[in-house]
C-alpha cells in the first residue's frame, strides 16, 4: 500500500480509482449507507438500517456503486476514512467538557489535553519502603494430618 492508501494492484491498473478518493466525494449519509449495504442482503434493508429513504439511495448513482465495489475489496480504508471524518467532531465533544458545570469533568478533560500536548507528568513513588518483600517458603514433605505451616504473619518479613 502506498502513501495514498492505494494497493499495488490499484496503482498498476490504469483508471482504477482509490476507495479513499471515492469516499471523499460521498456525504456522511452515503458512507453510512455503503457500510450498512455491506452487511445487508438488499439496498432496501440497508436504507432502513440507517434510517434513509429507499428511493433516495437508488438515486445516488455511480459514486455509491463504486464505493460499494471498492469497499468490498478494502474495509480498512473505509474505517480510516470514517475515523478522519469523525475526529473533528470527537475533539469538539471533548473540548466541550472544558465548559462543563462539573469541575471534575473539566479537570479530567484539561488533563487529557495537557498530556496530549506536553506528555504525561512524571509519577514518583512516594512509598517509604522500596516495595521489596522477602517471603520465607517452608517445604514439608511429611505426611501428617496437621495443617501446613502458614506463610503469612511472622513468616513474611517486609524489607
Q: Rounded to an integer, what distance in angstroms lies between the CA atom of residue 51 and that of residue 61?
A: 19
Q: Which residue has the higher pLDDT, 16 or 90?
A: 90
49 within domain boundaries: yes
81 within domain boundaries: yes
Is the pLDDT confidence value at 35 over 60?
yes
72 within domain boundaries: yes
What is the mean predicted confidence (pLDDT) over 32-61?
Answer: 91
Is 106 exposed, middle or buried, given 0-12, 13-18 or 19+ CB atoms closer than 10 A? Answer: middle
What is the mean predicted confidence (pLDDT) over 35-63?
Answer: 91
151 within domain boundaries: no
68 within domain boundaries: yes
pLDDT tens, residue by residue, 108-128: 999 998 888 888 877 776 666
Provide the residue range defining the domain that includes 58.
Answer: 8-85
Q: Give the total number of structural domains in the chain.
A: 1
30 within domain boundaries: yes
Q: Rounded to an integer, what distance in angstroms lies between the CA atom of residue 127 and that of residue 124?
A: 9
What is the mean predicted confidence (pLDDT) over 131-156?
Answer: 64
Give the pLDDT of residue 59. 92
What is the mean predicted confidence (pLDDT) over 30-59?
Answer: 92
Q: Which residue has the higher pLDDT, 20 or 14?
A: 20
Mean pLDDT score of the chain: 78
Cα 146 → chain centroid: 55
Is the pLDDT confidence value at 97 over 50?
yes
105 within domain boundaries: no
40 within domain boundaries: yes
Give the pLDDT of residue 6. 47
Q: Rounded to an integer, what distance in angstroms lies between the CA atom of residue 48 and that of residue 41?
A: 12
Amino acid at each position: 500500500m502506498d502513501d495514498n492508501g492505494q494497493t499495488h494492484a490499484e496503482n498498476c491498473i490504469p483508471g482504477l480509482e482509490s476507495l479513499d478518493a471515492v469516499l471523499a466525494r460521498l456525504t456522511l449519509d452515503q458512507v453510512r449507507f455503503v457500510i450498512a449495504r455491506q452487511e445487508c442482503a438488499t439496498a432496501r434493508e440497508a436504507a432502513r438500517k440507517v434510517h434513509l429513504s429507499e428511493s433516495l439511495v437508488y438515486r445516488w448513482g455511480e459514486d455509491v456503486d463504486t464505493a460499494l465495489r471498492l469497499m468490498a475489496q478494502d474495509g480498512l480504508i473505509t474505517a480510516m476514512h470514517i475515523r478522519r471524518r469523525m475526529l473533528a467532531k470527537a475533539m469538539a465533544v471533548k473540548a466541550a467538557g472544558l465548559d462543563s458545570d462539573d469541575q471534575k469533568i473539566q479537570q479530567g478533560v484539561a488533563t487529557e489535553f495537557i498530556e496530549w500536548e506536553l506528555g504525561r507528568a512524571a509519577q514518583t513513588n512516594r512509598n517509604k519502603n522500596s516495595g521489596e518483600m522477602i517471603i520465607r517458603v517452608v517445604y514439608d514433605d511429611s505426611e501428617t494430618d496437621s495443617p501446613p505451616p502458614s506463610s503469612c504473619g511472622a513468616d513474611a518479613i517486609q524489607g
